[in-house]
Amino acid sequence: MRATLSDRRPGHRSRLWRYLASMLTACALLAGTAVPAAAAELMRVTFVRHGQSLGNASGSIDSSTPGPVLSELGYQQAEAVAGRLGDKNFDGVYASSMVRTQLTAAPMSRYLGLPIVVLPGLQEIEAGIYEGTPESEASSGYMLAPLAWGLQGNLDARIPGSIDGHEFDARMKGALKEIYDSGDRNAVVFSHGAAMMFWTFMNVDNLTSAQKMELLRASLRNTADVVIEGNAEDGWTLISWDGREFSQQRTFGAEIKLHQRTLRQQLKAVSQSIRTAFASKDPATIATALNQGISEAKFSMIKYQRAVRAELIERIGKARSTATSQTAVTATTSTAGVQTAGATAAAPVTDNEEPVADKVSRKRDSSARDDQRRPTISDDSSSEVEDAVDSAADDRDESSREADEAAEAEAESDISAEESGTESNEKSGTESDEKSDAESDEKSDSAESAADSDRDTVSSDS
């Protein structure tokens, strides 16, 4: 039977072997080819230095754990941080193991309804033998090794009685990895001045040596913020340093996507907690989860809306500020040109001088050209921003029209004053001429009388 089948299909076995060989070859190729991993997501980290501590107020270096608490000013600064940065819609709040960072993070935690996650790797650089020494002497002691890490790349330098650059870098990177692994992509991290400064110097890819020296001289004030973006695989980029921008701002659309991701993650967590409650089949647990979930979902929507509104306000404010600055520069340049022309030669007033109304018209045309040179938000921004900027531009145009009308009214007033002055001068001149003629007639009559008298006298003498 087998022989008969083989005789009927002589090519069957060879085709089968070819098929198996091709499958094995494909499997070998797939096994030898690395499957590309998903690209690492960007993570934004907003470092915030703690508020003023009692150690700062005393002027002494204190890197001990848990360390001193905040001063009265420090508590006020902590509240101000929540007001200044709260609407960034952070998806995680982190602090070091030192109490001063946790106290600074507390108002932000309450504002966002998020817990404070403590990560020991974020703590201040240990001072070693320089613990308790005056902060004013740090540059010649405590800071020598960190300066070598951040400016020279010498991570082997060690603080006497403390750590070297390798240990410090690994500690901070470990903390950031924990944040990344948690799923947060827009975290606010409360840390310390030296730790924030020197780790940023050591890891961002867009700072020159000159810029590092400039930032080093300025130092970081209490509650100053440093924003970086990136990840462990692709590296890190400095976005801003205490308000000074070092990288191009994300488009409005990209910012909204970041906030939408935060919203999705928070709603996903709510959904998961409700599913877990239903799995328990306990009515009380289910009811509690539903009530809490609805409340958290509403609050997440509120935070998202606040973030979008704050982003719009910030961008419109920057656009107006830029437009105002350019308008001021243009006005200063125009004024300087007029003053130069006036100093070169004072033009005489003639009957052919340009009418004031024409000057006002030309001023209006110049203002229109200035408005055309004012910058607008890029095309990448959403239509909401464009509408808002257009509205702001309409407000500026309305202000320009009011200014033009005021200028025309002032010009008309000047013309009336000139005409009135001319009539007054003409009238005064006429009266003066008439008075002069009368005086001349009187003098002539007197002269004639004197002449007659002289003639009479001469006649009499004769």
Please tell me whether residues 48 and 187 are part of one structural domain.
yes
Task: Tell whether the model's pLDDT for residue 125 goes beyond 60.
Answer: yes
Please tell me whether residues 122 and 208 are part of one structural domain.
yes
Structure tokens at 193: 């001045």
Active-site choice (12, 50, 166, 426): 50
Please tell me whether residues 71 and 118 are part of one structural domain.
yes
Q: How far is CA 248 from CA 88, 146, 156, 205, 206, in A?
A: 18, 29, 34, 14, 12
State the pairing for strand pair 225-231/235-241.
Answer: antiparallel
CATH of the domain at 106: 3.40.50.1240
Output the pLDDT for position 369: 40
Residue 415 is assigned to a structural domain of this protein? no
Please tell me whether residues 311 and 165 are part of one structural domain.
no
- Residue 128 contacts residue 168 (beta carbons within 8 Å): no
Q: How far is CA 419 from CA 98, 133, 323, 406, 433, in A?
A: 80, 80, 40, 20, 21
> Is 192 designated active site?
no
Please tell me whether residues 52 and 179 are part of one structural domain.
yes
Please tell me whether residues 154 and 276 are part of one structural domain.
no
Per-residue pLDDT, averaged over 47-55, amounts to 97
Structure tokens at 80: 């101000």
What are 134-185's pLDDT values in tens digits? Answer: 999 998 999 999 999 999 999 999 999 999 999 999 999 999 999 999 999 9
Residue 131 is assigned to a structural domain of this protein? yes
Please tell me whether residues 212 and 285 are part of one structural domain.
no
Output the pLDDT for position 119: 98
Residue 420 is assigned to a structural domain of this protein? no
Please tell me whether residues 276 and 165 are part of one structural domain.
no
- Where is the domain boundary, 219, 248, 277? 248
Q: How far is CA 391 from CA 148, 255, 333, 376, 395, in A?
A: 52, 22, 27, 12, 6
Average pLDDT score over the chain = 77
Active-site choice (72, 79, 124, 229): 124
3-state secondary structure of 461: helix
What are 228-287's pLDDT values in tens digits? Answer: 999 999 999 999 999 999 988 788 898 899 999 999 999 999 999 999 999 999 999 999
Residue 386 is assigned to a structural domain of this protein? no
> Is 311 designated active site?
no
- Where is the domain boundary, 272, 291, 323? 323
Please tell me whether residues 276 and 198 are part of one structural domain.
no
What are 200-213's pLDDT values in tens digits? Answer: 999 999 999 999 99
- Report how many domains make up the chain: 2
Please tell me whether residues 173 and 266 are part of one structural domain.
no
Query: pTM above 0.75?
Result: no
Residue 177 is assigned to a structural domain of this protein? yes
Please tell me whether residues 70 and 157 are part of one structural domain.
yes
- Where is the domain boundary, 323, 340, 368? 323
Residue 393 is assigned to a structural domain of this protein? no
Please tell me whether residues 146 and 239 are part of one structural domain.
yes
Residue 169 is assigned to a structural domain of this protein? yes
Residue 407 is assigned to a structural domain of this protein? no
**Domain range for 123:** 43-248
